[in-house]
Amino acid sequence: MKIFDTKFSDCKIIQPIAHDDNRGIFKEVYTYKNYVNNLPQSTKFVQDNFSVSKKGVLRGLHFQKNFPQAKLVYVTLGKVFDVIVDLRENSPTFGQWESYDLSQENHLQLFIPPGFAHGFLALSNTVHLMYKCSAYYHPEDEHTIHWKDSYLDISWPAGIKISTSPKDSLGKKLSYFFDL
């Protein structure tokens, strides 16, 4: 596997080795010793999540403030525009975002350390997205930053009709959660 830095400390792009031939593809998606030895912090994953989304579905930007989760995100079918926002208040990149194209073709994984908001936009007709979490989900601690927050000014892909859940459409501005 290859590991690439991002502009955020401790956030990494991971490219597993994919074996492709006329029968299809095989790749090792996760092996504990490889990840614990190659990531900036030791992360024990305790929960796996799976979502299916149609083209134009935008999920996020979600975070847990009191029970933050590290995540390992990857796409098994389709393609997404994946976005993370640094919410670590002592970080020099606090309030900044970055996006990544994750797809079944590029096999890329995104390691997100605790302290980030996360969301994605489905770019293909169907998306199957998997992610591992380092902490259990606490519904009472889930928060949503609105995807069109003018402070963040995220450059979402043009030409796609975006659909969100009722909960995500009620997301708050970043300034609701943090002093800016």
Per-residue pLDDT tens digits for 92-122: 999 999 999 999 999 999 999 999 999 999 9
Residue among 101, 75, 94 at smallest CA distance from 155: 101
What digits encode the pLDDT tens for the residues 149-165? 999 999 999 999 999 99
Of 62, 128, 137, 151, the active-site residue reads 62
Of 131, 137, 146, 176, the active-site residue reads 131
Pull the structure tokens for residue 19. Answer: 């074996």
Instruction: Sort residue 78 into left (φ over 0), alpha (ψ -120 to 50) or beta.
Output: left
107 counts as catalytic: no
* Exposed/middle/buried for residue 62 (C-beta within 10 Å: 0-12, 13-18, 19+): middle
62 counts as catalytic: yes
Map out the domains of the chain as residue ranges.
2-177
Enter the CATH code of domain 2-177. 2.60.120.10
pTM, two decimals, is 0.93
